[in-house]
């Protein structure tokens, strides 16, 4: 656990942030990313450990959500080809 946030809470907060973009975005992202979702969230959590300890939650959530949204857009774009 980094700072006061567990990995599970990190994922919940990230899903909530994604759903602020558009309701259902988190579930759609999970479905498109599939089995890699858990590993991707684990990596984001670990890579941002120092920033989470420093209570930079909002910045980390925004950056991670933006990365996921871009990934989803990329996957959807490739599926249309």
Within-domain flag for 64: yes
Q: Return the SS3 of 2.
A: strand
Within-domain flag for 47: yes
In tens digits, what is the pLDDT along the chain, a chain of 81 residues?
656 789 999 999 999 999 998 899 999 999 999 999 999 999 999 999 999 988 898 999 999 999 999 999 998 888 776
Domain residue limits at 53: 7-75
Please check whether residue 8 is in contact with residue 59, taking contact to mean a CB–CB distance below 8 angstroms. no
Note the pLDDT of residue 78: 81
Predicted TM-score (pTM) of the model is 0.87
The torsion angles phi and psi of 48, rounded to 5 degrees, stand at -105, 15
List Cα–Cα distances, 32 to 10, 22, 26, in angstroms. 20, 16, 10
Residue 14: name the closest of 31, 36, 6, 34 by CA: 6
Note the pLDDT of residue 36: 94
List Cα–Cα distances, 28 to 6, 7, 53, 70, 75, in angstroms. 23, 20, 29, 13, 11
Note the pLDDT of residue 81: 64
Within-domain flag for 65: yes
Q: How many distinct structural domains can be found in the chain? A: 1
């Amino acid at each position: 656990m980094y700072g006061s946030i567990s990995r599970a809470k990190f994922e919940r907060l990230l899903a909530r942030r994604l759903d602020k973009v558009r309701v259902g975005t988190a579930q759609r992202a999970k479905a498109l990313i599939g089995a890699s979702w858990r590993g991707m969230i684990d990596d984001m959590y670990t890579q941002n450990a120092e920033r989470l300890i420093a209570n930079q939650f909002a910045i980390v959530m925004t950056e991670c959500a933006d990365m996921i949204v871009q990934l989803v857009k990329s996957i959807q774009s490739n599926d249309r080809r």
